[in-house]
């Protein structure tokens, strides 16, 4: 096993750092980056100086002002963040090739086998740091992690933030891993943490003591085995999730074919798809609506948007697409929704233009829990009222979603 196989680079408070680079008045000061200037909006990023006051992504502007009266807010400039992304890419690639870009501020590099000594890796890290400072900006810093696989390298990159680095040595791997909470691990979201607790696993140490078969059982999918291998330091190929999709369609019973009822069925289908989306802990950025009219005409339309798994956003997208359909008075025979471009939700940087809406997220989580505990009729969108029975909801929340969901 190559000890220094992967280098993971994660920029520190990226959007806020770019703002501090562009505007010297903001340097060394608490800064909140917001999607628009309004008291009701939330920070999409906070500088390290603001983080010291407890302000983070998702903190409301009014709340942030209360926590840190001197905080300055700047409106996000997406083009600048993309421009600096390309600049730091170049600065890194002058020293080592980038294998994968994971988000606007995270990249991973598979290191050549020639990196066999720790000093050699340390030199690379220092060279990258220097090159970014010289060619991009000394104000845009990053944290780096090196490990035997991408999973551990990413964890290591978060260990010494900001502007730090950590190299995992084989002999110290377990000590390093045990110094984390379950929720620090990529692939352990809120749902998975709750599931681990059901199996009596409360700590990373307990997790690392499980066998491969136990993790397969707990996860209910190959992801459990992958977690076991990741914790062992084995370097596995990624599972491609981005090309997958998740959708449902329904041939309408005759009494549901008038457009108003068909619309409700679509909302029910969407609810089913969104529950699965969240159970799989993935996000989507494309929505396809497909219709077949009673007269045989077919129509489909796609909408693209920032990655999300939130019901209210997807309901809104459905309603917008629905309004675009031709022949709005014609009865429909078959309707379908499809969520496309799925990605694991743990790896996404919050979109600039979608404000994190914690209240809505809490509502979604509550609905998922109610449906999981009390069944499909216990909670549903108001927009699907009256057609609940038209769509079967075969989702096994008390078991392990992944396997069941594939069926």
Compute how many other C-beta atoms are within 10 angstroms of the C-beta atom of residue 58: 16
As to burial, measured by CB atoms within 10 angstroms (0-12 exposed, 13-18 middle, 19+ buried), residue 95 is middle
Q: Which stretch binds Mg ion (CB under 5 A): 99-107, 158-166, 184-192, 291-299?
A: 99-107
3 makes contact with Mg ion (CB under 5 A): no
Of 168 and 350, CB closest to Mg ion: 350
Residue 123: CB minimum distance to Mg ion, A: 24
Site string for Mg ion, 11-50 (x = CB under 5 A): x---------------------------------------
Of 10 and 235, CB closest to Mg ion: 10
Of 15 and 219, CB closest to Mg ion: 15
As to burial, measured by CB atoms within 10 angstroms (0-12 exposed, 13-18 middle, 19+ buried), residue 238 is exposed
Residue 141: CB minimum distance to Mg ion, A: 10
Of 3 and 10, CB closest to Mg ion: 10
Sign of the dihedral through C-alpha 41, 45, 51, 57: positive
Q: b/e string for 375-393 if b means 16 or more Cβ within 10 A?
A: ebeebbbebbeebbebbeb
Interface size with Mg ion, residues (CB under 5 A): 3
Residue 348: CB minimum distance to Mg ion, A: 12
Residue of 6, 9, 10, 266 interacting with Mg ion (CB under 5 A)? 10
Q: Which stretch binds Mg ion (CB under 5 A): 100-108, 168-176, 279-287, 303-311?
A: 100-108
Of 48 and 322, CB closest to Mg ion: 48
- β-pairing verdict for 72-75 and 31-34: parallel
Residue of 3, 49, 105, 307 interacting with Mg ion (CB under 5 A)? 105
Of 118 and 160, CB closest to Mg ion: 160
Residue 383: CB minimum distance to Mg ion, A: 37
Of 11 and 139, CB closest to Mg ion: 11
List of residues contacting Mg ion (CB under 5 A): 10-11, 105
């Amino acid at each position: 096993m190559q000890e220094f196989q992967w280098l993971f680079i994660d920029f520190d408070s990226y959007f806020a750092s770019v703002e501090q680079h562009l505007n010297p008045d903001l340097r060394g000061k608490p800064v909140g980056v917001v999607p628009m200037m309004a008291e009701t909006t939330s920070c999409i990023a906070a500088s390290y100086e603001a983080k010291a006051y407890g302000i983070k992504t998702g903190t409301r502007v009014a709340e942030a002002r209360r926590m840190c009266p001197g905080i300055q807010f700047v409106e996000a400039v997406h083009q600048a963040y993309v421009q600096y992304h390309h600049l730091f890419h170049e600065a890194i690639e002058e020293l080592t090739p980038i294998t994968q870009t994971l988000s606007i501020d995270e990249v991973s590099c598979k290191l050549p086998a020639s990196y066999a000594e720790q000093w050699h890796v340390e030199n690379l890290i220092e060279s990258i740091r220097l090159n970014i400072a010289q060619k991009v900006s000394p104000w845009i810093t990053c944290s780096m992690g090196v490990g035997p696989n991408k999973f551990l390298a990413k964890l290591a990159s978060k260990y010494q933030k900001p502007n730090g680095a950590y190299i995992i040595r084989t002999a110290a791997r377990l000590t390093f891993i045990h110094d984390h909470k379950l929720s620090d691990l990529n692939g352990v979201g809120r749902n998975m943490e709750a599931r681990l607790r059901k199996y009596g696993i409360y700590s990373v140490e307990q997790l690392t003591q499980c066998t491969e078969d136990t993790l397969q059982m707990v996860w209910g999918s190959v992801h459990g085995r992958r977690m076991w291998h990741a914790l062992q330091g084995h370097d596995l190929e990624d599972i491609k999730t981005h090309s997958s999709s998740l959708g449902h369609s329904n041939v309408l019973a005759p009494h549901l074919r008038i457009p108003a009822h068909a619309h409700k069925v679509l909302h029910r289908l969407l609810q089913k798809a969104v529950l699965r989306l969240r159970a799989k802990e993935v996000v989507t950025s494309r929505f396809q609506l497909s219709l077949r009219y009673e007269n045989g005409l077919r129509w489909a339309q796609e909408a693209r948007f920032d990655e999300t798994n939130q019901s209210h956003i997807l309901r809104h997208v459905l309603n917008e697409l629905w309004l675009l359909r031709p022949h709005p008075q014609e009865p429909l025979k078959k309707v379908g929704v499809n969520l496309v471009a799925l990605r694991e939700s743990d790896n996404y940087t919050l979109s600039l233009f979608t404000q994190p809406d914690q209240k809505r997220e809490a509502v979604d989580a509550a609905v998922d829990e109610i449906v999981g505990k009390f069944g499909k009729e216990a909670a549903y969108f108001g927009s699907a009222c009256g057609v609940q029975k038209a769509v079967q909801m075969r989702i096994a929340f008390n078991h392990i979603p992944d396997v069941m969901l594939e069926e």
